[in-house]
Structure 1
Amino acid sequence: MQVIIFEDTRVHELKPLVNLKPVYGLHTGFRSLREKFEHFTRGEVTLGWHLRRYLAPFYAEQHPECVINRVVEDDLLLVNGRLVCEETAAGIIIDGALESGRGYMQGSDLLFARVQRSLITDESGMMPDLIDTRRIAAELVTEAVTGFRLISNIWDVIAYHTDELQRDAATLELGRIEGDVHPAAAIVNRSNIYVGPGAVVRAGAVLDADDGFVAIGAGAVVDPQAVLMQNVFLSPWSRAKIGAKIYSNVFIGTASRIGGEVEDSIIEPFANKQHDGFLGHSYISSWCNLGAGTNTSDLKNNYSRITLLLNGREQMTGLQFLGLLMGDHCKSSINSMFNTGTVVGTGANVFDGGFPPKEVPSFSWGGHRGFVPYEIERAVQTARKVMERRQVVMSSAYEAMFRFVAGTERTLQLFV
């Protein structure tokens, strides 16, 4: 039996966050959905990965050991890549608990399906770009299930984040301090703190774990006067800058640099928010740069539930707190402001003062007075420079993926 974690047609509803990554590249808690699959299945089964074709060359470059977009057996267990894996889901995957021709449905979503390869491949043996789960389900005997978490809306990564951070933290070696902690750093409740090998906690920094864990990954740096408290995960080789205030359920990805005030947010690897400014209940994708004084609102003045504007249509999130959802390679200028529930597309450059609209098109350039298309060549050049500053080379596979998204998204946007 071959296990394939797949992308379905609902992936498009999660743009722009998934423009440059498969859906299981999204984070909630301090692990990506892919990392949760791998963690809970514990290597007891080999996982194959299905994703949109334009993403596949770069993904294969990053994960050469993986089976990607290939069917190598007749008997398949399909697993929805939007699933937030935990012990129950992992048990189904490991045990292959379904009989052939059967599937588990949660609402209208197909979570698991045991099928023959002919159901998802064409005459040449290729899988579709995205799996049409309605068509698959129509061929199966399905059983209704409940209790699974699925990323169905773009805001779900934030809605699930607090609980998932706590679940992920159960695997931390709290109480273990291996890095270099200065004697003048304040360490509160050592038993709820992890400091990895090679990490540095400088004089005057505060790790306060009285009301939640604090984890500092290998090689990470906490600068003087930075305060981390109430469930914070600082990934390897990342940095909390001088005077940073990071608290209340924050994940900071590998090699990211964070300053100012941050709460209840997810920051992917290689992002940059070094300066003062407030970021709350937000999702910042890789290679973003928030200029000094960038501030987000995550609570409306009337305390009502927050709506998002997606493809020009309002959607009610049901959340009282929601800030900024930002795709990869975005920039904001100094003193930028973002309203509650703002979505910024991939490769956008926001400046010009005032509040930009709550939906900023991908590969656009402008602010509250309107946007114009961001020239693709300039966008590629900037992205390459940004990556080089972190000693990351833009490979030809990454550039092709980036250009594909830029060209596709540009044709979908109406600039005003």
Structure 2
Amino acid sequence: MRATDFESAASAIPPLRRDRPLGRQRTRKTSRLPVFQERPHGGARRSRDSPPEARPSRGRREEVFAGPLHRCYTNDGSALPRPSPRHRARLRPRRPHPPFRTIPGTDPRQSMHVVVFEDHAVERLGVLVAARPACALTVGTTTLVGMLDTLGVVRPVPRRAFEAHAASSRSRGVTLWGMPPWHPYDDLPRDTPVLAVNARLVPTARHLAFLRTLITSGRSTVVTADGVVAAAVVLPGSAAAGDPLRPFLERRSDVAHVLAGRDTTERGDEIRLLVDPHDVVTEHERAIEGDLAARIDAGRYAEERPGLHVAPGGHVDRLVAVRRGPVVVESGAEIGPFVCLDGPVWVGPHARINPHAWIRPGTSIGRGCRVGGEVEATVFEPFANKPHEGFVGHSHVGSWVNLAAGTITGNLKSTYGEVRLHDPRPDGSRSTVHTGRQFLGALVGDLVRSAVGTLLPCGARIGMAATIGGSVPDRVPPFFNMLVGGPGGSQSTPDQAATILSRMMARRGVPSLPTDLVLLTELARAGSPAASEPGATPKSDAI
């Protein structure tokens, strides 16, 4: 081709259209594409609503501009090619596979009954178990009861006050700590295999696989970790089966005494139990990514965009930025516009994230929560409330907690050193617990309320039903009110806490029951386990 022919052909190509701003052009979600690409010979595909004259000429060179949310724009408003069949298959929910592989004739859900017991060491978890059983603590994206539900019928046996409250909450369908009422222990069938699990066992996929191995071994086994019983399989006919197991669960006494007729004792060196309250934050950070991968592999979610997996019924605004995944959104959850999501993040059923929030890695938002502002590596138990601006990082927030606007938790010391927990002793001295963590926020018990502009230091432990405000000390007793009673504060009554709880429940459509007041009264009268923080003298079974 001569130079003159090339110049005439080039002049015949119309100029690139830039008469419309990119924000007004119609777009379509596609997979990741480079910032600039050249259309193959044969022209570009025009969008469904584009006029015929807007179709580019054959062989025309076009620019593709990468916009937010993994969408791409062309200079003439035309849409990019439709997703490939492989990409469309990723958008469709896959057929779920069984939760675990079973040996024919040994399906645990048909033959195994799971009993979750609490030992005396559970009191060291402090404010986190003051108003809930230890097996109801969220680690990763699930609780121990939720994990064990795949093995059989779960019957937790917590402290007596919680057991009575769970039995009376069946009419409401949810307990004070946000979980459905469990099966009572009294209807445990006789002469059936029993899997007994310590309530402090960390709910992880590794531990679940280990328990399945115990079930399919076909023998009575006791597994110890850190010198205490972590799990045990009791088969019919052994000395620990039947009625001898019932007195232990009612007395909350020594496990070894009840399981004296065990066949085998094993050491679970890889079994991890929760010991101190900050262990809940550490184990959560270890577990959340694996929990999300297991949920995604179950095939119940559609990948709406790279890294964003949404269950049927979940809604994510199109103006939400997913900078990294995985982000898993459950059914009924809602994420407003202009939210920035940095996975791993889990948004539970019917939770809501308000506009302009920044949800950073390691965050787990439970059922019915309301979250806004900046959050990082934090667990929100069901029905927690933090709808306004403020930072909460590396923390654990209980159920029915309301963090007012401007509530901020410190999670890093000004010295960049290790966060340590201090507890007073009867002689006036104090004990020190080395957490081994550089980042540690607040451990907030259930039913806690904060005032506007509340500041919490690193490692703060807030007792259940406390009301805090201003600059908060590192320890707040349960039912303590910092806003009433002058500089020394005052003590709230269970009736006041129950009244506030009923108002919060009414806003979420959850009916209140008289048993809520009964539970709070028993906890206030008997003394919360929060009094047995690390370093303090543990109590006996006071509840």
Q: TM range, normalised to the smaller chain? A: 0.7 to 0.9
Is residue 200 of structure 2 the alignment partner of residue 200 of structure 1? no
From 47, 64, 73, the counterpart of 2:154 = 47
Q: Which residues of 2 match residues 259-408 of structure 1 at below 5 A?
A: 259-310=372-423, 313-351=431-469, 353-354=470-471, 356-366=472-482, 369-408=487-526
**Shift of residue 91 of structure 1?**
1.3
Normalized against structure 1, the TM-score is what?
0.86
**Shift of residue 369 of structure 1?**
4.2
**Shift of residue 411 of structure 1?**
11
Query: Which has more radius of gyration?
Result: 2
Structure 1 residues 309-340: Cα deviation after superposition (integer angstroms, max 9, x where no partner): 45764322111111010111001111100100
Write the letter of the residue equivalent to 1:238.
Answer: A
Is residue 140 of structure 2 the alignment partner of residue 6 of structure 1? no
Write the letter of the residue equivalent to 2:509.
Answer: Q
> Do the aligned residues in 2 keep the contact of 1:308 with 1:343 (CA within 8 Å)?
no
Q: How many positions carry a matched residue from both structures?
A: 392
Residues 258 and 120 of structure 1: CA distance in aligned 2, closer, same or farther (over 3 Å):
same
**Shift of residue 133 of structure 1?**
3.3
Deviates more, 1:162-171 or 1:362-371: 362-371
Structure 2 unmatched ranges of 5 or more: 1-111, 174-179, 235-239, 426-430, 533-543
Distance in structure 1 (CA, Å) of the matches to 2:473 and 2:394 = 18
From 111, 114, 117, the counterpart of 2:230 = 111
Partner of 1:31: 142
> Do the aligned residues in 2 keep the contact of 1:7 with 1:131 (CA within 8 Å)?
no
From 154, 157, 168, the counterpart of 2:291 = 168
Distance in structure 2 (CA, Å) of the matches to 1:371 and 1:97 = 58
Normalized against structure 2, the TM-score is what?
0.67
From 361, 368, 371, the counterpart of 1:248 = 361
**Shift of residue 387 of structure 1?**
1.2
Write the letter of the residue equivalent to 1:33.
Answer: L
Write the letter of the residue equivalent to 1:121.
Answer: R
Is residue 263 of structure 2 the alignment partner of residue 121 of structure 1? no
Structure 1 residues 322-359: Cα deviation after superposition (integer angstroms, max 9, x where no partner): 101011100111110010000001000002x22x2211
Deviates more, 1:373-382 or 1:293-302: 373-382
Partner of 1:226: 339
Deviates more, 1:381-390 or 1:279-288: 381-390
> Do the aligned residues in 2 keep the contact of 1:2 with 1:73 (CA within 8 Å)?
no
> Do the aligned residues in 1 keep the contact of 2:145 with 2:154 (CA within 8 Å)?
no
> Do the aligned residues in 2 keep the contact of 1:380 with 1:399 (CA within 8 Å)?
yes
Distance in structure 2 (CA, Å) of the matches to 1:400 and 1:120 = 29
Partner of 1:133: 255
Write the letter of the residue equivalent to 1:330.
Answer: V
Distance in structure 1 (CA, Å) of the matches to 2:157 and 2:315 = 39
Partner of 2:185: 68
Distance in structure 2 (CA, Å) of the matches to 1:372 and 1:294 = 21
Distance in structure 1 (CA, Å) of the matches to 2:274 and 2:187 = 24
> Do the aligned residues in 2 keep the contact of 1:225 with 1:242 (CA within 8 Å)?
yes
Distance in structure 2 (CA, Å) of the matches to 1:80 and 1:249 = 25
Query: Which structure has greater strand proportion?
Result: 1
Quick one: percent identity of the two aligned structures?
Answer: 29
Residues 283 and 412 of structure 1: CA distance in aligned 2, closer, same or farther (over 3 Å):
closer
Structure 1 residues 162-209: Cα deviation after superposition (integer angstroms, max 9, x where no partner): 221111112233798669xxxxxxx7xx24221122222224221233
Residues 400 and 3 of structure 1: CA distance in aligned 2, closer, same or farther (over 3 Å):
same
Write the letter of the residue equivalent to 1:364.
Answer: F
Residues 136 and 170 of structure 1: CA distance in aligned 2, closer, same or farther (over 3 Å):
same
Distance in structure 2 (CA, Å) of the matches to 1:329 and 1:149 = 28
> Do the aligned residues in 1 keep the contact of 2:481 with 2:489 (CA within 8 Å)?
yes
Structure 1 unmatched ranges of 5 or more: 180-186
Residues 46 and 204 of structure 1: CA distance in aligned 2, closer, same or farther (over 3 Å):
closer
Distance in structure 2 (CA, Å) of the matches to 1:330 and 1:324 = 12
Distance in structure 2 (CA, Å) of the matches to 1:10 and 1:70 = 27
Distance in structure 2 (CA, Å) of the matches to 1:320 and 1:135 = 41
SS in 2 for 1:388: helix
> Do the aligned residues in 2 keep the contact of 1:201 with 1:222 (CA within 8 Å)?
yes
Partner of 1:89: 210
Write the letter of the residue equivalent to 1:89.
Answer: F
Partner of 1:59: 166
Write the letter of the residue equivalent to 2:474.
Answer: K
